[in-house]
Structure 1
Amino acid sequence: MLRTLFFAIIFFLSLIPARSSHIVGGDFTATWVFANASNTASTYRLKLTLYRDCDTGTAPFDPQISVGIFDRVTNQVIDTFLIDLAGSGPLVLALGNQCSPPPQICVEGGVYTIDVEIPNNPNGYYISWERCCRNSTVNNLVNPDDTGITFYLELPDPAMHNSTPRFANDPLTYMCEEQPFSYNFAGFDPDGDSLAFELVTPVSGTIGYPVSATPQAVWPGPIPAPYSNAIWATGYGLNNICGGVPLTIDAITGEMNATPDFFGKYSAAVECREYRNGVQIGMIRREIQFNVIICNGNSFPDVSFNAPIKNQTIYAGDTACFTYFVRDLEGDSLWLTYSGDVFPGGPSGPPYAATSGQVGVANVITDFCWFTSCDQARVDPYNVIYTSKDNGCPFALTVNDTIKITVLPAPLIERADMLCMDLTTEDRTTVYFGVPPNTDPEFFKYYIVYRSLDGSAFVPVDTINDHSKDFFIDNKALNHNTINYCYYIVGVNVCDKRGLISDTICSENSANNEINYLKSVSVLNNSEIVLKWKDFPNSDFATIRIFRKINSPLEQFSLISTIVNPQNNIWIDRNVNSSQFSYCYQIITEDNCGNVSPKSNIACSILLTGKSLVFKHNLNWTEYRKWNGGVQKYELWRKGNRDLKYSKIDGIGFTTSFSDENLNYDEGKYKYRVRAIEGPGGENAESFSNVLTLEQEPIIFLPNAFSPNDDYANDRWGAVTGFVKDFRIAVFDRWGQLVFNSIDPNEMWDGQYKGSPAPNGVYVYRVFIRAYGDQKARNIEGSVTLLR
């Protein structure tokens, strides 16, 4: 009944004259609503916004449309939806150029919406609907009144729970001849994905010109891509959509600009592509017809200034100054006024900014300058608003330009790190510290040095006025061999605000006795090994020395790298053969005073090896050495050649060997990787082995006879295979005639040839197979006897 009703609707809609709709544009969007309980499908809210002329005599919007959804890779029709018209009404045209549009410009919008459930599909989908036709007076297309419009979007796998981009602004459907046009559909993505915008050729589809000489008004049913483009009229194209200064679009912001030079109607299309992690996952397309009309000439005042950037960020105590220019292109009178937070009467308080209002003809200029104080820092930016108004006709045009100035607190002096203490001189200590790398001399005032003797209260003993100096000398450190002298410093900025105090260093423990700890050693990309060590006191102002050996009692450690002032606790060893050897590492730390720490623990990488036997893979790996928490367990992960990701093999535990006999005969190449997990009492570390690839040899069996007599015994003949990547079989009769062929190893010959039983006799077969590790195909030839 539903199928009958559907085709009845399609038949009724097809009776509408092809040239009556005068569609001028529209676009699809899809909003993810929720996933089903099993997370195998998601409900989407599909919305088609349609625009058409609303002149007297124009046909109304279709009360119902038929929309198709297709597999994006195979183009297979997945489903068809009948969507009712939800509402329609006139489009409000934003008169940005202050000209009243001519009476013939009238655009109406219609909205079709429906909630549909779409199953997960890694290929993704596209959704489309076609309608005919366009206005006969469109200048830039061939046969526009026979040319349809295809509305189209692309959607990734519903398992991603992704909504398509959308346009926040309705289209502005007219431009003024010989006047600059600027407009933005305001495309955005509700999921925060990156967007890219591009002008594209309008799409005509399948129901009109140029595909069909007899256009159909309504789509007869879901027709998969590809869809034909509309044909540009002579002289027009993507580089010249509407004449004059070409219509362009900013790929990042979506802002469109043009200066058309000829009255008329012009079709255009904008694609908004959606990217996640650099990969395109979706797309929407908006088609629109622009009407170029004749407007009375006037343009907005042109404003500019000589600051590097419009919105400025400064620190308290800095100065913000610039010159502001206003120009009227028609040479009219100009009035420039100002307001904002930074002037007398505003919330900022003194010192106030200085500027002035101006009156002039064609051009006016004013200067702005603000000398800020320490107490004018705040979170919210200060607003400086210039209002420029011309005296153009028919209406005066006004530009309100807001310049935001953010005043941040003068930065605090960052925390210094006390590095080491030189006690080699009697009754004198020299303390070295790490100067914070981001210390700006503009905001630095001095350091204060604090000292304590044998646990007494800290008192200030000195100041350091040079921001680049990285040590201080205490010439009054009497008997420092028996008295414990401790020091710390704190920085003060130009607003007399203290930063964080440094750590404390003391004479009694100034020797470098700390032992560093290697948290993990792990194989990366089968060609690198990553070392991670624990945070070490002052390690970023010291020297790390890394030693390595092959994991064998016969090998000795040797120095392989020296890192001066390391910026992090990670180092990558790229000079390794991690698929052949396990490597052991050890590190020491040397401070800036030359004190060398004891050696760290020894940490050794995991080497995974294995052998491919018939129907199984034997795997062995070296144990991880050595964590404070020991190895809690090992995990073995496997990925077949058809798998998208690794899966864990259960039941490994503490063993360092495994025989994998659970192999899929339809796959022949497997990758393995071991993960070691640290036990309690450590750093919650993990270590990965190298990736090991093992391949199975292909298996094939071909019977020498069969009897296709429907007795359920040997009625079919074919190959029995295992671990075969590529397959092809061909069977010939004694005259060399091909009677059966297939590329599916599971497909069997039923003894038929061209719909009739093949005669008894001997048939020759030729089989080509390719194993997963082979570059060349193997050729197998033989014969089979057909007996009935």
Structure 2
Amino acid sequence: MRITKLFIAILLLFSGSVQADGIIENKGQFDESVISRVDFSTHSIFMESDGFKVLLHDQEKWAKMIMHYHDNLMHNHSSTIDDFVDTLHFQMLKYSFEGANFSESKYEEPSEAYYNYYTGNDTSKWVGGVRKYNKLTFLSIYPHIDLEYEVIGERFKYNFILNPGAKLSDIRFKIDGHDGVSVQSDRIVMKTRFGEFSEVMPLSFEVNDGQKKLIQMKYIDQGDYIGFESIFFKSKVKTIIDPELIFSTYSGSTVDNFGFTASYDDEGNLYSGGIATSPTKFLNGAYPTTPGAFDVTFNGGEPNTFACDIAISKYSSNGQNLIYATYLGGNANDYPHSLVVDKNNQLIVFGTSTSANYPTTSGAVDRFYNGDEDIVVSKFNANGTALIGSTFIGGFGSDGINDNGDTRYFYADDYRGEVNLDNAGNIFIATSSSSFNFPTTSGVFQPGPSGVQDGVIISLNPDLTAIRWSTYFGGSGADAIYSIDISSDGDLYIAGGTSSRNIPTTPGAYSENQLGETDGFIAQISADGSQVKQATYYGTSGYDQILQLELGKYGNVYVVGHSERNLPTKGIVYSNNNGKQFVSKFKPDLSELLISSVYGSRGNIPDITINAFLVDDCNKIYVSGWGSNSEDIPGKTLSNMPLSADAFQKTTDGQDFHLVVFEEDMADLSYATYFGGNQTGDHVDGGTSRFDKRGIVYQSVCSSCPENPLSSRISDFPTTPGAYSESNPSPRCSNASFKMAVVPFNLPPSISPQNFVTNVIDTLNIQIGDTFSFNYPITDPEGDSLYVYFDIPSSLRSSLISYEDTMIGKGSLNAYFSFLFPCGNAGKSFRIDVRAEDRGCPNNTDSLTSIIIQIDSTPLLPPPDVLCLNFVSDQELRIDWEQTPASEYFNRMALYRIDPSGDTTILTYSLNQLGGSYTDLDVIDPRNRDYTYYIVVENICNEWGVRSYLLSSTRESQIPVEETYLKTATVNGKSIEVIFLKSKEDDFGYYEIYKGTREKGNYKFLTKISNIDDTIFVDNNVNVNTTSYCYQIRVVDDCGHLSAFSNNGCTIVIRGEALNKKSEVPRFKFDLRWDDYITWDGGVMDYELLRSVDTGSLRPIVRLADPLVEYRDSDLDFDWGGYWYSVLAYEGPGSQDATSRSNDIYLIQPPLVFIPNAVTANGDNLNEVFGWSDVFVREFEIKIYNRWGEKVFQSTDKNANWDGEYKQGDLTFSNVYFWIVRYRGWDNNVYIDKGTLTIVN
């Protein structure tokens, strides 16, 4: 069975949010208009019965007020407490969904903890056991459409779930309360006093048997309202809108943890490398290592520095599981620069270390630390449980670190360099060294150093037991190699930056001579390291560096870097004038620059530092980098970077990632987006990340670092639902990682209106008589050539009006078919096979579908909804009918008559669907002899439908409309419910409701109800405490006939008073009386009196047989002075077993206190202590003073007494004392009594 749905998920982006705890259910603690709410640091969201509201406030002022209250008023940290006056501004945005029904809901994913709300003095607002939830769904707000609210970390999403049968056009909403709104195809931008906020709608997707399939969706501006539009939507499916972000996660570390480098394997798993500090640096914690991993404990670090180990995590392809995580390092500091994974899913880590005891393996190239920073290379087994190989590489100086000012430009450029592999699994390292004795091998082109810092290239065997070859590369200045790639014939290509005037360039190269202060360079090295085959400078007269290098499908050399000058463009390319990031393409021999372009914000300095670079098999170009507005980072212009219309994130706080994709040869911008949080600076602390050949980026990030560590944990980086760590548990930074498919990678063609995938069959049900046409737009996402083939069986071709076997086009085309099926094909089915082939890059792809056409019988047509019989005279009848429901399958209708003898006659045919009438003169005494009429409709295949209801002449003469029965009129809170029986009339028209009062009668028409099943009427225009209201019902049929009035129903009003008479026993009581209920067929059986105190529920205290309608209640609790009363009437037997409840009344007994005026403290155990008596007292306080005004006793316990003791062991002597008593009862009045007390010894 095929079940598909469509989802539309919309993300609200409000800057500055801190993660919410969840959706709080309203059980009475909030205003009654609020169903539930969500609280963030910058705003709150209130779900209501027609949509939701977003309450914004000024976060900076709010924080200032909180700090002032905390520091000054709570703890008095300042020397003086100044008066603090400020104004906190708010703004409310209101989302209203037109015509939506929010009556049915369900909460999901409850919190384990519950919450209690005791706010204010109104105990009815006190509630306990309140849970918080991650998800709240309102079911069927529109037909077949659910609305789901969801809290994910610091983000709020609302999702429309369109089930089969839903109409996308039903969803319409408007937003009020803003200062201006812009509706774009992929987002809504609202202006407020606090800035601009966005609602982002990514791509939609269908879910079919658990499989997601993207569908394009966009917003449409409909004037006052906003809706959705998609050419791919079909009401038979269920669809979702979701981002192209595959996953994003924090590391889950509870210690400070920086992000450096990332890579991937063939299964799409992500490997992240960073550093984690000591568990005692900020708070006790740890990196989340996994059981059995290579190293699960922190190893130490250099004192007086940011002590750290390398931290490695491997995440599953969907980011939901941590496969393994381990520390890697020794007792000093260790840093990862670059990661790569071999064909056996074994991770190779290139980094640097100052740890003398960094873990090395037996037989490794070098097991001993050489001084300063050493290069380290380590290789894990596939499970991360052990090292296959691990070694030091270095000399006496600094190795692996780019620490020269000529080449170190951006923050963290120190930790550049790259590790890569050839097809045999040999390991290549490209980096820098300042050691004069770096280990090189014989036969290489440069065995010794040339300047203050040189590039170095090392080739190692797969298990790190031997250096295959090793060489310097550089000149007399500073040189740094950042990137390395290996050609199909084994040659190496390297790139980086240099301030040397004499690096080993070659004749015929693009530029043999230095061009400026610091230049980029590219070199081709022989597979054995023995020669520089080609080498060139690249740049301008100012500062330039190449940061990444990639070889294209045909061996061309692509580089990406940045410049402080205007690097010229070449070719017909996309570019941004004055852009400071460049992408260039050279011939394999580096003799010619083929294309070059620049992009960026058009500032004076580079915008981003680049971490990942790819040229895919179709020669599309991908770049990932980050920029910041920090003072120690050159790029400060990130806000004007190029973006595409379908960008995942179109706004930036100036400190985010920027990802961009260019078409082949930089011909156009394919995709560009920002990515990052909105509170902190997202960056990388050094190292490389990677794209795979499908264009998916695997990026390591240092995220969510607060300016003031330990002040608060921040989780502003965008993570995905279900990711391993959706929020940041670190006291400071976290090594986040994200995996994003930035562009589709040669997707197969799509066949609309439904996007088919291989072997999915769509069934089209077509009815006999239809002229059925369907138009399938077939598109290729990349605009490649399309070849579409159709196989229509010969048995179907006789029904074809138009048809094509094969179609050829580019980008998109339409396949149009039209059928006309005769009546004889009912029950048959036909199959059309469709194959759409994309002959694009890198491989041909196709989409296959088989469309099953099921020929259904023409539907049987219903009769008219309304038939009326009227007596023209005693011997003449007229039958009238309304039009039948419009149908293209209509042929004719017939009016039948059943005579008193039982014979059936067709009186007339009608050949149209309009209403009509027929006068029957062929009747005799129809009031006493029964003539019955009905109508049947015939379809175009000569099939008769069901007959209409029967019209009887005798019944219409005697009882045209039967009256209903009013079951009860009962009070429900402040309203009255009138409940009556459903009408039995086939031609029911509507109910008429009439209203009067018990005292006056005087019934007047109130309203009418047109739904036959709507038999409960709620009257809110009443005062249930003062007036008994009476109601009657009348039924009207579609022909205008009236029934008799129903019985009347009059509500019960209960009244009462409190009595306090000393002369009577019992002294305290309530007298209650109420109206009798009017009228039931079975009469009133008895009345049940209900009572409760304030905190309880109403319970029966007595049941009185009718006609008793009064009662005296003297069974009172002297400790409780307020009581609720109501009465419930029960109908007598033999009818509807109905009940009617009265209004609720609240009665109060005023409080009293009795106090004596003398005590005989003489030891005879009689009247020894001073006590008092009270009734109906809620709060109590007594104070006793001696003649000198000293207070000798005080108590708030109304059940206490005083034994005459003033001070411990000091009993009073005979004396006169003064007392004052203050008390309050349920009437909320405060009473004060005063008097004297004489103590006689």
The TM tier, using the shorter chain, reads: 0.5 to 0.7
- Secondary structure at the aligned position of 1:477 is classed as coil
Trace 1:594-613 onto structure 2 (pairs within 5 A). Answer: 597-613=1043-1059
Partner in structure 1 of residue 815 of structure 2: 366
Look up the equivalent residue of 1:641 and give its one-letter code: D
For 1:672 and 1:742, locate their aligned partners in 2 and report how far apart those are by CA, in whole Å. Answer: 34
Partner in structure 1 of residue 869 of structure 2: 421
Partner in structure 2 of residue 477 of structure 1: 923
Partner in structure 2 of residue 642 of structure 1: 1095
Trace 1:557-568 onto structure 2 (pairs within 5 A). Answer: 557-561=1002-1006, 563=1008, 567=1012, 568=1014
Partner in structure 1 of residue 879 of structure 2: 431
Asked if the contact 2:1087–2:1103 (Cα under 8 Å) also holds between the matched residues in 1, the reply is no
- Give the superposition deviation at 1:462: 1.7
Partner in structure 1 of residue 170 of structure 2: none
Asked if the contact 1:348–1:376 (Cα under 8 Å) also holds between the matched residues in 2, the reply is no
- Give the superposition deviation at 1:215: 1.7
> Which one scores higher on RCO, CA 8 angstroms, separation ≥ 6?
1
Trace 1:624-703 onto structure 2 (pairs within 5 A). Answer: 624-643=1077-1096, 646-649=1098-1101, 651-652=1103-1104, 654=1106, 655-661=1108-1114, 669-698=1122-1151
For 1:728 and 1:745, locate their aligned partners in 2 and report how far apart those are by CA, in whole Å. Answer: 6
For 1:448 and 1:373, locate their aligned partners in 2 and report how far apart those are by CA, in whole Å. Answer: 24
- Secondary structure at the aligned position of 2:1052 is classed as coil
Partner in structure 1 of residue 700 of structure 2: 264
Q: Deviations over 1:343-386 (max 9, x none)?
A: 6399999779967564544334323545566688899x999886
Partner in structure 1 of residue 115 of structure 2: 72
- Secondary structure at the aligned position of 1:73 is classed as strand
Residue 452 (str. 1) matches residue 864 (str. 2): no
Residue 325 (str. 1) matches residue 771 (str. 2): no
Q: Compared with structure 1, are the counterparts of its residues 495 and 719 closer, same or farther at alpha carbon in structure 2 (3 Å cutoff)?
A: farther
Residue 298 (str. 1) matches residue 745 (str. 2): yes
Query: How big is the alpha-carbon RMSD for the aligned residues of Structure 1 and Structure 2?
Result: 6.5
For 1:393 and 1:714, locate their aligned partners in 2 and report how far apart those are by CA, in whole Å. Answer: 107
- Give the superposition deviation at 1:243: 5.7
- Secondary structure at the aligned position of 1:511 is classed as helix
- Give the superposition deviation at 1:536: 3.9
Look up the equivalent residue of 1:469 and give its one-letter code: G
Partner in structure 1 of residue 966 of structure 2: 519
Unaligned runs of 5+ in 2: 1-18, 23-110, 119-126, 135-151, 155-201, 211-239, 258-278, 288-626, 630-637, 639-648, 660-672, 678-694, 704-716, 729-735, 757-761, 1061-1067
For 2:1070 and 2:1200, locate their aligned partners in 1 and report how far apart those are by CA, in whole Å. Answer: 29
For 2:650 and 2:280, locate their aligned partners in 1 and report how far apart those are by CA, in whole Å. Answer: 24
Could you state the TM-score of these two structures normalised by the residue count of structure 1? 0.54
Q: Compared with structure 1, are the counterparts of its residues 336 and 729 closer, same or farther at alpha carbon in structure 2 (3 Å cutoff)?
A: farther
- Secondary structure at the aligned position of 2:935 is classed as strand
- Give the superposition deviation at 1:631: 3.4
Asked if the contact 1:700–1:720 (Cα under 8 Å) also holds between the matched residues in 2, the reply is yes
For 1:357 and 1:786, locate their aligned partners in 2 and report how far apart those are by CA, in whole Å. Answer: 118
- Secondary structure at the aligned position of 2:129 is classed as coil
Q: Compared with structure 1, are the counterparts of its residues 721 and 424 closer, same or farther at alpha carbon in structure 2 (3 Å cutoff)?
A: same
Q: Compared with structure 1, are the counterparts of its residues 532 and 308 closer, same or farther at alpha carbon in structure 2 (3 Å cutoff)?
A: farther
For 1:748 and 1:397, locate their aligned partners in 2 and report how far apart those are by CA, in whole Å. Answer: 95
Asked if the contact 1:588–1:596 (Cα under 8 Å) also holds between the matched residues in 2, the reply is yes
For 2:805 and 2:955, locate their aligned partners in 1 and report how far apart those are by CA, in whole Å. Answer: 64
Q: Compared with structure 1, are the counterparts of its residues 247 and 742 closer, same or farther at alpha carbon in structure 2 (3 Å cutoff)?
A: farther
For 1:638 and 1:662, locate their aligned partners in 2 and report how far apart those are by CA, in whole Å. Answer: 11
Q: Compared with structure 1, are the counterparts of its residues 184 and 572 closer, same or farther at alpha carbon in structure 2 (3 Å cutoff)?
A: closer
Trace 1:694-713 onto structure 2 (pairs within 5 A). Answer: 694-698=1147-1151
For 2:963 and 2:877, locate their aligned partners in 1 and report how far apart those are by CA, in whole Å. Answer: 26
Trace 1:69-468 onto structure 2 (pairs within 5 A). Answer: 70-73=113-116, 122-124=128-130, 214-217=282-285, 245=673, 263-265=699-701, 267-269=717-719, 286-287=726-727, 289-292=736-739, 298-301=745-748, 303=750, 305=752, 317-318=769-770, 321-336=773-788, 344=793, 358-369=807-818, 371=820, 390=838, 411-414=859-862, 416=864, 420-425=868-873, 427-433=875-881, 439-468=885-914
Asked if the contact 1:732–1:763 (Cα under 8 Å) also holds between the matched residues in 2, the reply is yes
For 2:285 and 2:905, locate their aligned partners in 1 and report how far apart those are by CA, in whole Å. Answer: 91
Asked if the contact 1:450–1:461 (Cα under 8 Å) also holds between the matched residues in 2, the reply is yes
Q: Compared with structure 1, are the counterparts of its residues 625 and 389 closer, same or farther at alpha carbon in structure 2 (3 Å cutoff)?
A: same
Look up the equivalent residue of 2:965 and give its one-letter code: L
Q: Compared with structure 1, are the counterparts of its residues 624 and 556 closer, same or farther at alpha carbon in structure 2 (3 Å cutoff)?
A: closer
- Give the superposition deviation at 1:701: 6.7
Q: Compared with structure 1, are the counterparts of its residues 392 and 582 closer, same or farther at alpha carbon in structure 2 (3 Å cutoff)?
A: same
- Give the superposition deviation at 1:651: 3.9
Asked if the contact 1:520–1:687 (Cα under 8 Å) also holds between the matched residues in 2, the reply is no
Q: Compared with structure 1, are the counterparts of its residues 182 and 722 closer, same or farther at alpha carbon in structure 2 (3 Å cutoff)?
A: same
Trace 1:738-757 onto structure 2 (pairs within 5 A). Answer: none
For 1:293 and 1:405, locate their aligned partners in 2 and report how far apart those are by CA, in whole Å. Answer: 40
- Secondary structure at the aligned position of 1:531 is classed as strand
For 1:732 and 1:206, locate their aligned partners in 2 and report how far apart those are by CA, in whole Å. Answer: 64
For 2:1009 and 2:856, locate their aligned partners in 1 and report how far apart those are by CA, in whole Å. Answer: 34
Look up the equivalent residue of 1:683 and give its one-letter code: Q
- Give the superposition deviation at 1:574: 4.9
- Secondary structure at the aligned position of 2:933 is classed as strand
Q: Which residue among 470, 483, 491 is the counterpart of 2:937?
A: 491
Partner in structure 1 of residue 946 of structure 2: 500
Q: Deviations over 1:45-100 (max 9, x none)?
A: xxxxxxxxxxxxxxxxxxxxxxx96443389xxxxxxxxxxxxxxxxxxxxxxxxx
Q: Compared with structure 1, are the counterparts of its residues 333 and 509 closer, same or farther at alpha carbon in structure 2 (3 Å cutoff)?
A: closer
- Secondary structure at the aligned position of 1:510 is classed as helix
- Give the superposition deviation at 1:430: 0.1
- Give the superposition deviation at 1:487: 1.5
Percent identical: 22
Q: How many residues align?
A: 572
- Give the superposition deviation at 1:535: 3.9
Partner in structure 2 of residue 510 of structure 1: 956
- Give the superposition deviation at 1:488: 1.9
Q: Compared with structure 1, are the counterparts of its residues 546 and 705 closer, same or farther at alpha carbon in structure 2 (3 Å cutoff)?
A: same
Larger displacement relative to structure 2 (686-695 or 236-245)? 236-245
Q: Deviations over 1:462-499 (max 9, x none)?
A: 22333331533224335646754222222334454433
For 2:1079 and 2:1222, locate their aligned partners in 1 and report how far apart those are by CA, in whole Å. Answer: 54
- Secondary structure at the aligned position of 2:793 is classed as coil
Unaligned runs of 5+ in 1: 1-24, 29-67, 76-120, 129-148, 152-179, 189-194, 220-232, 250-258, 273-283
For 2:1147 and 2:987, locate their aligned partners in 1 and report how far apart those are by CA, in whole Å. Answer: 43
- Give the superposition deviation at 1:450: 1.4
Look up the equivalent residue of 1:627 and give its one-letter code: W
Asked if the contact 2:802–2:816 (Cα under 8 Å) also holds between the matched residues in 1, the reply is no
Give the greater-gyration-radius structure (CA): 2
- Secondary structure at the aligned position of 1:625 is classed as coil
Look up the equivalent residue of 1:458 and give its one-letter code: T
